[in-house]
Amino acid sequence: MLEHDSDAKEELKRADHLLYVTLKYTKNIDVIKNTIKRLINACDFAILDIMEYLKAKKKIKEISLMPTTRAEEAKKYLKKIDLIEFIDFYLLLKKVDRAEYTKKEEFKKNVRLVVMDENEESFEINIEKLYEFFEKTKEFVKYVEENYK
């Protein structure tokens, strides 16, 4: 069943390389942004697998073309706490990707992406936080792989 599982794993491989190789040497905000985009893509593929599972089980008739709508529908039809947490995490990544941002200590050891949310509150993403996001995304892809075959 999982048609997009390999796509999600490919995105994780790319994010892994960005994190452990590229970011290590460049300490650049663009690498952080690209890594977040790769994590979002991996989550998109995992959510697409969930939607195809729901369609195969005849819980939905068609799969939305909008990624955020797919995530909300998955949350609505599958009320599992683990899945809801993962989808909330995915929506956070989407919000971070779309938000306005500034750079701190670019090209230095403590490079940080400072994201401003709609309430004008700042949220910093440093390398350690990015590693946490990566691990959480790997957990999400694995969770989908194990539970929605």
**pLDDT tens across 69-119, in order?**
999 998 888 888 888 999 999 999 999 999 889 888 887 888 999 998 777
Portion of the chain with pLDDT greater than 90, in percent: 56
DSSP at 18: I
Whole-number average pLDDT of the chain: 89
Number of domains making up the chain: 1
Q: Which of 84, 67, 82, 47 is nearest to 55 (CA)?
A: 47
State the DSSP code for 58.
T
- Residue 109 tokens, joined: 């050891």
Task: State what percent of residues in the chain have pLDDT above 70.
Answer: 97
State phi, psi for 102 to the nearest 5 degrees. -130, 170
Nearest alpha-carbon partner for 91 in 43, 144, 52: 43
In a domain, 105, yes or no: no
Let me know if residue 118 belongs to a domain: no
Residue 16 forms part of a structural domain: yes
In a domain, 107, yes or no: no
Is residue 68 included in any domain, yes or no?
Answer: yes
78 within domain boundaries: yes
- Model's pTM, two decimal places? 0.91
Q: Is residue 113 in a domain?
A: no
Tell me how far apart the alpha carbons of residues 149 and 147 are, in angstroms, rounded to a whole number.
6
**pLDDT tens profile 57-66:** 888 899 989 9
Among the listed residues 113, 48, 128, 120, the one whose alpha carbon sits nearest the alpha carbon of residue 87: 48
| Share of the chain residues as helix, strand and coil, in percent rounded to the nearest 5 | 65, 10, 25
Range of the domain at 45: 5-98+127-147
Please check whether residue 76 lies inside any domain of the structure: yes
pLDDT at 4 (0 to 100): 62
